[in-house]
A and B are shown apart, each in its own frame.
Chain A
Amino acid sequence: MSPATIKRIVLPGLGLAIVLVLWTVISQTVAHDLPSPARTWAESRRYVLEPFFKDGEMNQGIGRLAFYSLVRVGKGFALALLIGTPIGFLLGLSKTFHASFDPIVQFLRPISPLAWLPLGLVIFQKSEPAAVFTIALCAMWPTVINTAMGVRSISQDYLNVGRVLKLPRWKMLTKIIVPATLPYVFTGYRLSLGLAWLVIVASEMLTGTPGVGGFLWQEYNSLVYSHIILSVITIGAIGLFLDRLMSLVEARVKAG
């Protein structure tokens, strides 16, 4: 076996095995209510092997549930980019705008999704738009901040080229400022997508909408603990997949 295979396959496999053993031991000794890996699999196999079955609103295959969550995150993420990108550019471009709104941005940024959600429910009266609103509001900050930082760190040399050519404002923006900022913008997008996925669970738990997070909370209330673990693993896997996907997009943008 080559050192590369050991590093890429054997060692991660070993790590996984150790975690499974520890999980089993804990479930047999200290936490008797925690389902063991074997029990989790036995109780979850139908959800995984038939990922798209639908018996009722809250009893569906994990693929179907993940799809609902992804659509919801997609909407919230899209809204976050739509609002966050222009705000980021304005913060970076205009000193007046920065002075007026940066304090507010810094103030709003650390607020937890749990705090926004009830407000969303009050405003929209329905759980679906409230969830999307919460995701967008929590996920947009990395986009705002990275875009603003990208604009501010554009090399003076590039700006001087535009100044010497006396480019009109619009051309300065499209030919120089936006392309120079793009790598930062996409770093912001990747971080925003990660946050959007983090927020989905909380917002689905609180609104009880069908999706991985909603399912997780419902199964907790129905005392089917193995399905909590199934949900957690699904959330992790999708989160990892989304991050890798965005990293690829980001790398492409950075390579120009």
Chain B
Amino acid sequence: MPFLDVRGLEKSYVGRRGTTRVLGGVDLAVDEGEFVAVVGYSGSGKTTLISLLAGLLPPDRGEITLDGARVEGPGPERGIVFQQYSLLPWMTVYENVALAVDAVNAGKSTAERRRLTEDLIGLVNLTPARDKRPRELSGGMRQRVAVARGLGMAPKLLLMDEPFSALDALTRATLQDELTRIWGERCCTVILITNDVDEAILLADRIYPLTPGPGAVLGAPIEVGLPRPRSRRHMSLTPAYQKARLALVEFLRSAKRSA
């Protein structure tokens, strides 16, 4: 059985105007240490998928198994980096990260937990801002705190819900590079949800396209045959990049037409 095994995941929302079927049977298999991206249009159910994986929403049908254990409800072993950062505004950078570190390392000494927290803040290059509050930070810095907090949960699986979509292009590029570095240093399994095809190709080993809803499903995965480390500058000229991009865009376009 794969490290993460998702089978027949279905989710509908019941609203005032009847039922909307958001996900119509999502299957997904991810091996340990893999970086997988899910690409789809806005409103196709990407956030619903990640909420189900995180256990924040119960599925109507289907099941999720992570490392042999069935997922029932949320837990820190599936760390999540939210789209809107969701930092607690009354806490400093340090306190936001420490909240996660302390929650999963209850058995460790105060000094040890402190070291882990300082470490993560250093990893995302925020040591000079450790005592600032979120409102004093730029969007990019806030998202770094969110990444540090996600890693602070020491997750088996890190879920990222369009983490860079609210950032300007330059900041986004910087953070993408940093995410690659961090993933290389603290190799964990990552699922990145994004609507940016280039971001998916730059970061992921494998990309699943999500068909436009209602009743969205994942298409056949596209392997990104690019060697690491990947360079943003040279990448776009390689045949492997162009092949992956073409396959993705083709799939998403034709899925949109038929939807």
Residues of A within 8 A of B (CB): 155, 157-158, 160-161, 163-167, 171, 175-176, 179-180, 182, 256
- Do A157 and B82 contact each other (CB < 8 Å), given the known contacts A164-B54, A165-B153, A256-B90? yes
Q: Which of B70-78, B163-171, B236-244, B245-253 lies on the face that meets chain A?
A: B70-78
Contact A164 B90 (CB under 8 A): no
Return 15 A-B CB contacts under 8 Å, by A number: A157-B82, A157-B84, A158-B88, A160-B82, A160-B86, A161-B86, A161-B88, A161-B99, A164-B54, A164-B78, A165-B76, A165-B100, A165-B153, A167-B103, A180-B90
B89 within 8 Å of A by Cβ? yes
How near does chain A come to B11, taking the closest CB pair, in angstroms?
Answer: 17
Contact B104 A165 (CB under 8 A): yes
Cα of A180 to Cα of B88 in the assembled complex, Å: 8
B76 / chain A contacts, CB cutoff of 8 Å: 164-166
Cα of A179 to Cα of B87 in the assembled complex, Å: 13
A175 / chain B contacts, CB cutoff of 8 Å: 88, 99
Contacting A at CB under 8 A, from B203-238, are none
Cα of A256 to Cα of B95 in the assembled complex, Å: 14
B103 / chain A contacts, CB cutoff of 8 Å: 165-167, 171
Cα of A157 to Cα of B84 in the assembled complex, Å: 8
B133 within 8 Å of A by Cβ? yes
Contact A179 B88 (CB under 8 A): yes
Scan B88-118; emit 1 where CB is below 8 A from any A CB, else 0. 1111000000011001100000000000000
Interface of B is mostly: loop
B45 within 8 Å of A by Cβ? no
B73's nearest neighbour on chain A, judged by CB, is A163
How near does chain A come to B94, taking the closest CB pair, in angstroms?
Answer: 14
Cα of A158 to Cα of B90 in the assembled complex, Å: 11
Cα of A171 to Cα of B104 in the assembled complex, Å: 13
Contact B75 A166 (CB under 8 A): yes
Contact B88 A164 (CB under 8 A): no
Cα of A176 to Cα of B54 in the assembled complex, Å: 19
Give the interface centre of A163, A164, A182 by most chain B CB atoms within 10 Å.
A164
Cα of A164 to Cα of B51 in the assembled complex, Å: 11
Q: Out of B79, B84, B88, B133, name the residue touching A176 (CB < 8 Å).
A: B88
Cα of A164 to Cα of B103 in the assembled complex, Å: 10
B150's nearest neighbour on chain A, judged by CB, is A164
Q: A164-B56, A165-B99, A182-B90 are in contact. List 13 more A-B contacts (CB 8 A).
A: A155-B86, A160-B80, A160-B86, A161-B88, A161-B99, A163-B73, A164-B75, A164-B78, A164-B153, A165-B103, A166-B103, A176-B88, A180-B88
